[in-house]
Structure 1
Amino acid sequence: MAVIPLSGTRRESLGKGGARKARAAGRIPAVLYGHGEQPVAVAIEARAFDLALRGHKGGNPIVNLAVNGGEFTALIRDVQYDPISHAILHLDFQHISLTETIEVKVAVALTGLPLGVKDGGGILETILRELDVRCLPTAIPASISVDVSHLNIGDSVHVRNIAMPDITILNDLDETVATVVPPTVMEEKPAEEVVAETATTEPEVITKGKKDEEEAAAGEGKDKEKKEEKGKKEEKGKK
C-alpha cells in the first residue's frame, strides 16, 4: 500500500469553537494520537485532503503527515461526515510504524457467479462484509477477494477457506462469509384441491338459495289465505 503525503498545521484553538473556526476557514479539524505520544490537535486543508485521497482505493489509507516541521506516519482511523451535506467534519490519525503490525478491518469482495445461482436460481447472501486482520501497514489490502463461483445451493464459504499471504485473519474460523440459499417460491395448491374446495362450497350456496325460495313461497301462501278469509267475511257481512 502506498503512503500518501499530506500536510497540516497545529490547532491552537481547541473544543467545538475551535473546530467550527477551522471549518469556516476551509480546513478539517483532526487529532493525531498513538505510539505512546500525547494527542495533538491539527487541521488539514479540505481541498488538499480531497486531492490527496482521490486516487486511493479501499479503506485504511496511510499518510505521511507533515505538521509544523515534524513528520508522522499515520493511519486514517476514522472520518466523521455531516449527515446532510456529507462534508467531512473531523479526522482521526493514528500514529503508526511501518515495521509494526496493526489491526484493521478490510472489506470482503465476492467474485464470480455461483453455480447455485446460475443453474439453480439460488440467492447469494453475504454474511460478513468485513474481516478483522492483523498485518504490517504496507500489507493492508484494499479488499479481500473471495471466489464464490463454485458454490451450489446450500454451500457456504467460511473464514477458514480464505488464505491471504502476510495477513492474519482474526475472525473465528467457523464464521460464514457467504452462502447460497434456495430461491423463495410461493406454494401453489394442486388443481385437485382447488376443484374439491369449489365443489364443497357451491352446494351450500344452492341449498341456501332453495331455502330462501321455499320460505318466500310459504310466506306468499299465508298472505293469500288471509286475503281469502277476509273476502269471505266481507261477503257474509253484506248478506
Structure 2
Amino acid sequence: MTLNAENREGTKKGVCRKLRVDGKIPAVLYGRKVESRDLVVSVKDLEEAIRKSETRELFFDLKLSDGNCPAMMKDFQKDPMTGAFVHADFYALELDRKIEARVYLNVKGLAKGVDLGGTLRVFERMAKVRCLPGNVPVSLEVDVTELGLGKTYFLKDVPTPEGVEILVEGNMPVATVIAPKGAAAATDEEGKPAAAAAAKKKK
C-alpha cells in the first residue's frame, strides 16, 4: 500500500497541533540502514490504507521526497477521548532480512469432539512468526476437524508456508475440546469417550 509522506519541519506542540487541524499527523521513520527522519502523513490516507490491509501487521510503500521506502508500522498513538490517530512510527524494511510479525490464526472446521457434545474453546487468535517481509502470510489455517473430546491443538503444530517460522515456546494451546460435564475425561484414539468405546467392543 502506497502512502505519501512529507518531510516535517519542527517538532513543537504548536506545529503538531496545526498538522492535526489540517487532517495530518506527525510521524517518524527509522531503521538499521536509514537515517531517522520526521514525517507528516495524511490521516485519511492512513486510515484508508489500514482498511484495505488484509494482514495484521501494516506494511507500506512510503512515498518520500527522495524515493520510496518499504516500511512497517511499528507503533502508533491515538487520542484516548476521540480515538483519532495522533502519531505513527514506521520501521524501514530490508526486503532480504527477516522480521517478526503477528498473523491471524484462522480456526476452521467442526471438531469431532463437538459432535460428541463437547465445547470448542479457542485460546489464541494470533501467532508471532519470523520470515522475510514479502512472505508474511495473511493468516495461518488451524483445522480442528479431527479434534476429539479432551484433545488440544498446539501452536507448534500449525502448518506454515515455506520460509515462515512460528515463534513459540513449549506447548502453547490454540484450541481444545472440553468434554461435557459428567462425561469421562479419557478418550479413545478417535476422540470418543473411552467408556463408550469399551462398551461397544463388549457388544
TM-score range, shorter chain: 0.7 to 0.9
Instruction: Tell me which residue corresponds to 2:195.
Output: none
- Any conservation in 2 of the 1:158–1:173 contact (CA below 8 Å)? no
Task: List runs of 5+ in structure 1 lacking aligned partners.
Answer: 186-239
Q: Which amino acid is the alignment partner of residue 128 of structure 2?
A: D
Q: Helix, strand or coil for the counterpart of 2:5?
A: strand
Q: Structure 1 pair 176/39, CA: closer, same or farther in 2 (3 Å)?
A: same
Task: List runs of 5+ in structure 2 lacking aligned partners.
Answer: 183-203
TM (norm. structure 1) is 0.69
Q: Which amino acid is the alignment partner of residue 182 of structure 1?
A: A
Q: Which amino acid is the alignment partner of residue 144 of structure 1?
A: L
2:192 aligned with 1:181: no
Aligned-pair Cα RMSD in Å = 1.9
- Bigger radius of gyration: 1
2:159 aligned with 1:159: no
**Pick from 113, 116, 126: which aligns with 1:116?**
113
Instruction: Tell me which residue corresponds to 1:218.
Output: none
C-alpha distance after superposition, 1:155-209 (max 9, x if no partner): 0011231121220111125221111112458xxxxxxxxxxxxxxxxxxxxxxxx
Aligned residues: 181
- Any conservation in 2 of the 1:32–1:39 contact (CA below 8 Å)? yes
Q: For residues 80-159 of structure 1, what are the structure 2 equivalents within 5 Å?
A: 80-120=77-117, 122-159=118-155
Cα distance between partner residues in 2 of 1:153 and 1:12:
62
Q: Structure 1 pair 184/33, CA: closer, same or farther in 2 (3 Å)?
A: farther
Instruction: Tell me which residue corresponds to 1:22.
Output: 19
The structure with more helix, counted as a fraction of residues = 1
Cα distance between partner residues in 1 of 2:166 and 2:52:
27
Shift of 1:15: 4.4
Report which stretch shifted further, 9-18 or 150-159: 9-18
Q: Structure 1 pair 34/115, CA: closer, same or farther in 2 (3 Å)?
A: same
TM (norm. structure 2) is 0.80
C-alpha distance after superposition, 1:55-113 (max 9, x if no partner): 22121122111122232110112233333322222211110111211111212221112
Instruction: Tell me which residue corresponds to 1:66.
Output: 63
Instruction: Tell me which residue corresponds to 1:54.
Output: 51
Q: Helix, strand or coil for the counterpart of 2:63?
A: strand
Q: Structure 1 pair 80/154, CA: closer, same or farther in 2 (3 Å)?
A: same
Cα distance between partner residues in 2 of 1:163 and 1:15:
49
